[in-house]
Amino acid sequence: MTVFLDIVDPASVPKRELASGDRIPSIGLGTFGSDNYDNQTIADAVKTAVKIGYRHIDCASVYGNESEIGTTLSDLINEGLVRREDLWITSKVWNDRHNDVYGACLQSMKDLKTDYLDLYLVHWPFPNSHAKGVSVDSRDPNARPYIHEEFMKTWEAMERLVDSGLVRNIGTSNMTQRKLELLLRDCRIKPVCNEMELHPHFQQPELFDFVVKNGIQPIGFCPLGSPNRPERDKTPTDTNPFEDPVILKIAAAHGVHPALICIKWAIQRGQIPIPFSVKPAKLASNLRAAIEDPLTSEEMEVMKTVDKNCRLVKGQVFTWPGATWEDLWKDEE
């Protein structure tokens, strides 16, 4: 059976200019398939997304699927369907490789079959999690609180990646404002992006304003509220933006699913959402939300009222003895 894809002209998707001068597409494809999809299914979704018009692919070594994604992207390039220079490929160094950033980067580049990365992020600011095999759903018995001096060693290795030309841009993820303040004070090369949980029920206005004020582009993961996130990340107090009456009302006015309102809001707010889907129709509608039927200024104002400060990705697997997940996000002088 022939599948007809809804193609979006990549040139019509707006881009954000980073502090480095590089331009990044204003919407990307996330590749964390949670526990619901195997690696090849995610790689096939990447193939479909690129054919539809996506040019920004957000990867990470810990997702365990960079090799399959790399094969897919290489095939698309070799077939002449896309040029490498038209793709924006992001990867991230995982906690157990903070003491070998260079090696971790080379491994991701090898897996992704590229000779450079457009953006490389420190996935979590916990360089103390060096134990091999520490994954997204296991606890590190040696975990301890953030240590700035250790993080700076990691960041200096990131800076050397830029110096070497292996990486064009570097950034952070899952940071707090105080951690970013310390990094900006001590770094040689500033982060151009900070990837952080951002959706209508978790808007993080203070941190969002801080990164923007400091010339750092916010990238928002879980832009739809991540209803399919792993069970380990779910708690009874979590909320779902798709059930929010304000968002439902705006969605009805536009005649679209609430997910598209979340994407429109994110892009118009100035962040870069990286929604994930394996379904061609959803991939296309998510991408079209970036360029069609924007929210009104009144609707954008109303969206501010739905913030519930509901963090969904709590990071509890990184807690040290005696700590709760809330301790990961506390800023101390």
The pTM (predicted TM-score) of the whole model is: 0.95
Residue with tokens 């690129």: 50
**Digit-coded pLDDT (tens) for 264-293:** 999 999 999 999 999 999 999 999 999 999
CB 180 within 8 A of CB 206: no
CB 219 within 8 A of CB 274: yes
Residues designated catalytic: 63
Closest to 225 (Cα-Cα) out of 258, 249, 194, 254: 258
| C-alpha Rg value of the chain to the nearest Å | 19
CA dihedral 330, 214, 195, 289 (to 10 degrees): 130
Q: Is the per-residue pLDDT at 133 higher than 60? A: no
**Digit-coded pLDDT (tens) for 64-100:** 999 999 999 999 999 999 999 999 999 999 998 999 9
Among 57-61, 138-142, 194-198, which is the least confidently predicted range? 138-142
- Cα(124)–Cα(215) distance, integer angstroms: 20
- Cα(311)–Cα(122) distance, integer angstroms: 20
CB 265 within 8 A of CB 296: no
CB 229 within 8 A of CB 222: yes
